[in-house]
């Protein structure tokens, strides 16, 4: 069995999973009900943050846990934590990006821990770097928080987003054997959610600029860093595609249904079919273009479309970060951008596992 990239136009470039001479497009398929899921119970995982721990914080339904991703013409290998540990012995896997990367980091630790419940582990939580170690195997799985990938400098209380600066962050990534990057959501944040006060680009400072242009500049700085510093004989590089949000029911509902709900609150089932009727994020066109021009092979974990179908997978109001008052007002407070654990990020990691080892 081998993996290869299908050449051609970027919109059609799908990583292929070959079995019995037939090619398998990993990221094109449907969600099928499977009662052997989830892969672990939330109560057995030591690391799930309150904002992702939907069952603990009162989510009443559980059908959303019972879906398996089924590519169109093959079956994904089932995740085996012991296989992951033995193949990655002595290695350092690092997720780099925003809280969606942290979502995936925690999911992978839960999935491996389910296979080895009595193994000695150690966790060191920090900002920007948190590391979970499976001591017997010498495996470290880390999360490095860098929502824009590029650096942010604070000068006299002013946060400066440096579109051409990445060395401060990049120094922490050099020792990893596997790097999984993501960025996206923070480039669009405005107002109180915005993570910077000024943008620095080309030696000039800006109060704002076209956000897609800024993201492309930042991604090109990142891709240059990867091409310059990553040793392709030692380190494998992945980029997690844009994780979708579900704040606009008109994207998936029609008529009365679309006007009753204001977001993902109350959604309990995935969409049917293989394609999402909403819009493909503009950010993905930028990601496609930048990755296509890189010299170091960078594998696109193209989870956008399969995640678009999972309007039921978000914490909504069942997040430990919300007060009772906030929960009483789902129209304003529902979290429709992160994902419950157990849940969708487990599928991202099943795909990551498949690409890594098959």
CA distances, 1 to each of 8, 20, 156 (Å):
22, 8, 55
| DSSP tag of 172 | T
Which listed residue (98, 151, 302, 335) is catalytic? 335
- List, in sequence order, every beta strand (DSSP E) within the chain: 3-5, 15-19, 22-25, 29-33, 67-71, 92-97, 121-124, 129-134, 139-145, 152-155, 158-162, 178-181, 198-201, 204-206, 236-240, 298-301
Which residues have C-beta within 8 Å of that of residue 222, sequence separation ≥ 6?
149, 150, 166, 181, 183, 290
**Which single residue is written with the structure tokens 């943050």?**
49
| Most distant pair of Cα atoms in the chain: their distance | 61
Which residues have C-beta within 8 Å of that of residue 179, sequence separation ≥ 6?
94, 96, 173, 226, 230, 235, 236, 237, 238
Which residues have C-beta within 8 Å of that of residue 210, sequence separation ≥ 6?
none
Say how far apart CA 42 and CA 192 lie, in whole Å: 32
Could you give the 3-state DSSP secondary structure of residue 133?
strand
Active site residue 321: no
Active site residue 210: no
Q: Which of 47, 65, 99 is CA-nearest to residue 338? A: 99
Rg from Cα positions in the chain: 20
Active site residue 36: no
Which listed residue (185, 246, 314, 338) is catalytic? 338
Which listed residue (99, 130, 142, 307) is catalytic? 99
Catalytically annotated residues? 99, 335, 338
């Amino acid at each position: 069995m081998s993996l290869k990239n299908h050449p051609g136009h970027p919109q059609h470039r799908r990583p292929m999973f070959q079995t019995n001479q037939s090619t398998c497009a990993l990221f094109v398929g449907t969600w099928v009900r499977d009662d052997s899921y989830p892969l672990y119970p939330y109560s057995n995982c030591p690391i799930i943050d309150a904002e992702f721990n939907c069952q603990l914080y009162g989510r009443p339904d559980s059908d959303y846990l019972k879906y398996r991703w089924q590519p169109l013409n093959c079956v994904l290998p089932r995740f085996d934590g012991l296989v992951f540990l033995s193949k990655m012995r002595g290695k350092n896997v690092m997720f780099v990006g925003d809280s969606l990367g942290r979502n995936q980091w925690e999911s992978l630790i839960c999935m491996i821990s389910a296979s080895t419940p009595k193994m000695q582990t150690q966790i060191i939580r920090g900002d920007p770097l948190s590391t979970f170690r499976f001591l017997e195997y010498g495996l470290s799985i880390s999360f490095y928080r860098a929502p824009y990938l590029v650096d942010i400098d604070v000068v006299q209380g002013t946060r400066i987003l440096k579109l051409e600066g990445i060395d401060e962050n990049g120094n922490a990534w050099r020792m990893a054997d596997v790097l999984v990057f993501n960025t996206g959501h923070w480039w669009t944040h405005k107002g109180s959610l915005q993570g910077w006060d000024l943008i620095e680009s080309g030696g000039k400072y800006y109060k704002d600029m076209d956000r897609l242009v800024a993201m492309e500049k930042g991604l090109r700085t990142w891709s240059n860093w990867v091409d310059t510093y990553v040793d392709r004989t030692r380190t494998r590089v992945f980029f997690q595609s844009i994780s979708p949000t579900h704040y606009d029911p008109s994207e998936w509902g029609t008529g009365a249904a679309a006007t009753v709900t204001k977001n993902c609150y109350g959604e309990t089932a995935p969409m049917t079919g293989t394609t999402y009727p909403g819009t493909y994020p503009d950010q993905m066109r930028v990601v496609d273009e930048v990755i296509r021009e890189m010299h170091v092979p960078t594998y696109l974990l193209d989870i956008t479309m399969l995640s678009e179908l999972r309007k039921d997978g978000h914490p909504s109001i069942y997040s430990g970060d919300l007060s009772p008052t906030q929960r009483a007002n789902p129209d304003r407070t529902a979290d429709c951008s992160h994902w419950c654990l157990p849940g969708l990020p487990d599928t991202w990691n099943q795909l990551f596992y498949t690409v890594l080892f098959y």
